[in-house]
C-alpha cells in the first residue's frame, strides 16, 4: 500500500503547464529522491503534496487522506523543510523549535522533551539558547530541519536541504535523514547533488517539464541506462571545430566543455573511444588525461533530459 499516491495530477499557471499528469506512488519508510532541473515542476509537486497548492486536476493522497479535501489532517502528519531557511532570527534556536512545535499541537512536557530531542538530533543542543543570527549557514540549515521534525512526523519533505553549506554540515544532515528514516519517517528528498540522492535514496523519480520521466531505485535506473558511458578528457586546448565534430558524431549523445576538460556522453565507449581519439588527433589536440566513468544518476539524467541537472 502506497503512503503517498499522486494520480494524474495537473497544475497550470495560465498557459504554462507546471505539472503534467503526474502519477506517482511512494511507499511507507522510503527515502524518495525527486530529481529535476530548475523549473521542472518539482517544487510545484511538493507544494501540492503539502497542501499549499491545489491541483487543477487529479488527486493526491497522503496516508490514505485526500490532500484536496482534508489538507489540515495531511499537514498534521508532515514536516516540511523548505529550500530557503525559514526561521525567526530574533528568537533563540529553542524558541524557534518550540514555537513551531506548539503550532503542531504539542503541549507541556511532551513539547519540551520533543523540542530538546529535535535540537539534539540536529546537533544544536549546546547552542539552543543562542539566536540564529550568530549561526553559520550549516547550523541554520540544521535548525531549519529541527523546526520541521519537532512533532516527529510520518512524512518529511526536504527541499534542497543542503544548499550552500559546508561538507561537515552536509554529512550531518545526510546522516540525520537516514536516522529519521530508520525511526519510521517516510522522506521525500530533492537535491541538485546526485551523490546525495545516490547515497541516501531508496527510490528516485526524475521529473522534467512537469512530467515524471523515470522512476525506480538508483540501481534500477542505472541498469536501465547501463549502455551510457561518460568519458572525461583533459586536453591541452579545445578548438571549436573539434567540439562540433564530436557533437555531430551519431553515437555521441552529449558533449560538455569546461576550460580544458571535455566530458563526452555516449553509448558504449569501448566501441567508440577510438572515434573520439581520432577526432582529437585530427585537430592536433593532445590528451593529458582520459577517464571512463561508470553510468550514474547524472549521466542518466543527462541522457533522459539532454541537459545537466544544474542547468
Partner 1 sequence: MRNILIIAAGELLRFFRMRSILLIMFGLPLLLILILGTALSGVFQDSEEGYQLEVVKVTVLNGDEGVFNEMILEFLNLPELQPYMLVEHVDSRDELFEQYESGEIDYGVVIPVDFSESVLSGGLTGWELIEGDSNEKNIVVRTIFETFLSQVNEMQARVLVLGSEEVERLFNQDLNLQFEFSSYVEIGSLHKNKSSTSAMQYYAASMLVMFLLFSGMSAAISLSEEKESNTLFRLRSLPLHPNTIILGKLIGVGAFSILQAILIILFSTFVYGVDWGDNYLTVFYVIVLTIVSAASIGILLYSFLKSSKSISAVYQAIIFVMTFLSGGMVPSLGEFLNSLGKFTINYWSSNTLLRLMIESDSTFILNNMLVIVSISLVLALLAGFVYWKVGYHE
Binding site for partner 1 (CB under 8 A): 50-52, 72-73, 75-76, 78, 80, 82, 84-91, 95, 99-100, 102-105, 147-148
Nearer to partner 1, 21 or 76 (CB): 76
Q: Measured between alpha carbons, how far is 148 from 33 in angstroms, rounded to an integer?
A: 18
Question: Smaller CB distance to partner 1: residue 78 or 206?
Answer: 78
User: For partner 1, which is the closer residue by CB, 96 or 263?
Assistant: 96
Between 29 and 88, CB nearer to partner 1: 88
Minimal distance, residue 186 CB to partner 1, in Å:
16
Q: What is the closest distance, in whole angstroms, from the C-beta atom of residue 258 to partner 1 in the complex?
A: 33
Report the distance separating Cα 31 and Cα 14, nearest Å: 33
Minimum separation from the CB atom of position 139 to partner 1 (A) = 17
User: What is residue 123's three-state secondary structure?
Assistant: coil
Query: CB-wise, 147 or 242, nearer to partner 1?
Result: 147
DSSP codes, 261-297: EEEEEEE-HHHHHHHHHHHHHHTTPPEEEEEEE---H
Closest contact distance (angstroms) between CB of 210 and partner 1 is 21
Report, in Å, the least distance between residue 90 CB and partner 1: 4
N-terminal to C-terminal alpha carbon distance within the chain:
36
Shortest Cβ 268–partner 1 spacing (Å): 46
Cell of 259: 576550460
55 or 222, CB closer to partner 1?
55
Q: How far is CA 206 from CA 4, 5, 51, 187, 202, in A?
A: 16, 16, 21, 16, 14
Q: Which residues contact 235 (CB under 8 A, 6 or more apart)?
A: 260, 262, 280, 285, 286, 287, 288
| Residue 193 contacts residue 165 (beta carbons within 8 Å) | no
Amino acid at each position: 500500500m502506497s503512503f503517498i499516491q499522486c494520480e494524474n495530477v495537473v497544475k497550470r499557471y495560465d498557459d504554462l503547464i507546471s505539472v503534467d499528469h503526474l502519477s506517482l506512488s511512494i511507499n511507507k519508510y522510503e527515502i524518495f529522491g525527486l530529481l529535476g532541473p530548475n523549473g521542472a515542476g518539482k517544487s510545484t509537486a511538493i507544494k501540492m503534496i503539502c497542501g499549499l497548492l491545489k491541483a487543477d486536476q487529479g488527486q493526491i493522497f497522503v496516508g490514505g487522506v485526500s490532500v484536496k479535501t482534508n489538507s489540515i489532517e495531511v499537514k498534521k502528519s508532515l514536516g516540511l523543510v523548505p529550500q530557503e531557511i525559514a526561521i525567526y532570527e530574533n528568537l533563540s534556536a529553542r524558541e524557534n523549535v518550540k514555537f513551531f512545535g506548539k503550532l503542531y499541537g504539542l503541549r507541556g512536557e511532551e513539547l519540551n522533551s520533543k523540542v530538546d530531542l529535535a535540537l539534539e538530533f540536529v546537533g544544536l543542543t549546546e547552542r539552543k539558547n543562542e539566536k540564529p543570527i550568530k549561526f553559520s549557514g550549516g547550523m541554520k540549515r540544521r535548525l531549519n530541519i529541527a523546526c520541521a521534525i519537532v512533532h516527529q512526523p510520518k512524512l518529511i519533505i526536504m527541499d534542497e536541504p543542503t544548499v550552500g553549506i559546508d561538507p561537515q554540515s552536509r554529512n550531518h544532515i545526510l546522516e540525520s535523514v537516514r536516522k529519521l528514516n530508520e525511526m519510521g519517517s517516510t522522506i521525500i528528498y530533492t537535491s541538485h547533488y546526485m551523490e546525495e540522492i545516490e547515497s541516501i535514496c531508496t527510490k528516485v523519480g526524475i521529473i522534467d517539464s512537469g512530467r515524471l520521466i523515470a522512476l525506480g531505485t538508483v540501481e534500477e535506473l542505472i541498469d536501465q541506462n547501463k549502455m551510457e558511458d561518460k568519458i572525461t578528457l583533459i586536453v591541452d586546448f579545445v578548438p571549436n571545430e573539434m567540439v562540433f565534430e564530436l557533437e555531430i558524431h551519431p553515437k555521441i549523445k552529449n558533449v560538455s566543455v569546461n576550460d580544458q576538460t571535455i566530458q563526452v556522453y555516449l553509448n558504449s565507449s569501448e566501441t567508440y573511444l577510438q572515434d573520439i581519439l581520432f577526432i582529437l588527433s585530427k585537430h592536433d589536440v593532445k590528451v593529458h588525461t582520459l577517464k571512463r566513468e561508470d553510468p550514474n544518476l547524472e549521466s542518466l539524467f543527462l541522457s533522459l533530459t539532454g541537459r545537466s541537472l544544474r542547468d
